[in-house]
Amino acid sequence: MALQVSGAGFSPLSCWRRRAATTRAVSSGSVTTKREEGEKVKLGGSDLKVTKLGIGAWSWGDTTYWNDFQWDVRKVKAAKAAFNASIDGGITFFDTAEVYGAGILGAVNSETLLGRFIKERQEKEPVEVAVATKFAALPWRLGRGSVLSALKDSLARLGLSSVELYQLHWPGIWGNEGRYIDGLGDAVEQGLVKAVGVSNYSEKRLRDAYNQLKKRGIPLASNQVNYSLIYRTPEENGVKATCDELGVTLIAYSPIAQGALTGKYTPENPPTGPRGRIYTPEFLQKLQPLITRIKEIGQNYGKTPTQVVLNWLIAQDNIVPIPGAKNAEQATEFLGALGWRLTEQEIEEMRLIASKIKPVIGFPVEKL
């Protein structure tokens, strides 16, 4: 059921292809309308529709990866502003997880923050918000009942009676994976979620999960994986092709490579914290030819590098990117990735340049 105290997807975007020849002239210097930004698409074979672009809430409440061991009132206000700017622009799909900001070094749970932002916004006006959260496949969680138990805890933190999308955050171990998939099916049948998905799933695991749910008449809506212009492993390991074959939507996390593709960072100005150990000055030096070309393409459309690399994903169909927004300025910039489309030639040109750069892994779970 769509969250409302009103409610909250992916259809092919082939109609955009017919407009590709005129996109450059139309989009350059233009302002994307809220209606265009809020256009929704279906998630896989489910009935759930979400906006073409979502917002990731991994950084909200975090104190270990994103926020340099500090989460304070100022950052809460900035995250809330990001939420409101997204809603104002027509983006209503938000992705969180029970482990984001979960009780480490003064962190605040991301689900709790998102639930608070939704409630405070709804007190002013009815809005539609589609919430996606995730089950952590921790080793001590045994059986299908653990999925429902964790989901109910997530709902309590969010202050909701149901969510639109519930996902397994990573594959289970010790033979529990199939039980977890059963738990997802139970959640659908009990009306606690509208659709279910997985995350960080390989081709084989994706097929197994799809077939297991199919036997119960439940579609697998999505597979959330690390996917960006410089991390194209889903193209290389069969995951993207399998998603397309099965009609499962690929939700792309870290779609701007945790900021590396925005042009903000240079060899002289690398990111701080854990990201600085991933996106090193040496790597950023190799990245510069790609960044330069992204900027050139963006200038032709009147778009920023961030908007170009997000559109690179959106324009390929069956992909919903979920960049993380720490503040209103970032959320507003993300909106500019919608309402226009790169040409096929530009998509392939950027892929070719990026293929000369060895990809980096932004988070250990991606190896699963």
Q: Among residues 65, 100, 231, 279, which one is catalytic?
A: 100
pLDDT above 70: percentage of residues in the chain: 86
* Secondary structure letter of residue 170 according to DSSP: S
Q: Which residue has the higher pLDDT, 343 or 21?
A: 343
d(CA 179, CA 137): 11
In a domain, 368, yes or no: no
pLDDT band (50, 70, 90) for residue 174: confident
Q: Which residue has the higher pLDDT, 196 or 30?
A: 196
Domain span including residue 185: 14-360
For residue 143, how far is the Cα from the chain centroid?
A: 27
pLDDT band (50, 70, 90) for residue 65: confident
Q: Are 168 and 198 in contact (CB under 8 A)?
A: yes
Asked if pLDDT for residue 120 goes beyond 50, the answer is yes
Place of tokens 């969510």: 163
State the CB neighbour count (10 A cutoff) for residue 56.
Answer: 25
Classified as helix, coil or strand, 187 is helix
Classified as helix, coil or strand, 5 is coil
In a domain, 4, yes or no: no
What is the structure's pLDDT at 14? 35
pLDDT band (50, 70, 90) for residue 4: very low
In a domain, 6, yes or no: no
Tokens of 78: 């900035």
In a domain, 148, yes or no: yes
Q: Considering Cα of 123, then 86, then 160, then 130, what sign does the dihedral take?
A: positive
DSSP for 302-362, please give it.
T--HHHHHHHHHHTTSSEEE--B-SSHHHHHHHHTTSS----HHHHHHHHHHHTTS----S
pLDDT band (50, 70, 90) for residue 38: low
d(CA 241, CA 244): 5
- Catalytic, 100? Answer yes
Q: Which residue has the higher pLDDT, 89 or 3?
A: 89
Tokens of 196: 């279910």
In a domain, 5, yes or no: no
In a domain, 250, yes or no: yes
In a domain, 367, yes or no: no
In a domain, 3, yes or no: no
What is the structure's pLDDT at 278? 86
Q: Are 253 and 222 in contact (CB under 8 A)?
A: no
For residue 223, give the CATH number of its domain.
3.20.20.100
Classified as helix, coil or strand, 36 is helix
Q: How many domains does the chain have?
A: 1
CA distances (Å), origin 96, targets 68, 165, 179, 218: 20, 10, 22, 23
What is the structure's pLDDT at 276? 85
* Secondary structure letter of residue 129 according to DSSP: B
* Secondary structure letter of residue 191 according to DSSP: T
pLDDT band (50, 70, 90) for residue 26: very low
Q: What are phi and psi of 42, to 5 degrees?
A: -85, 140
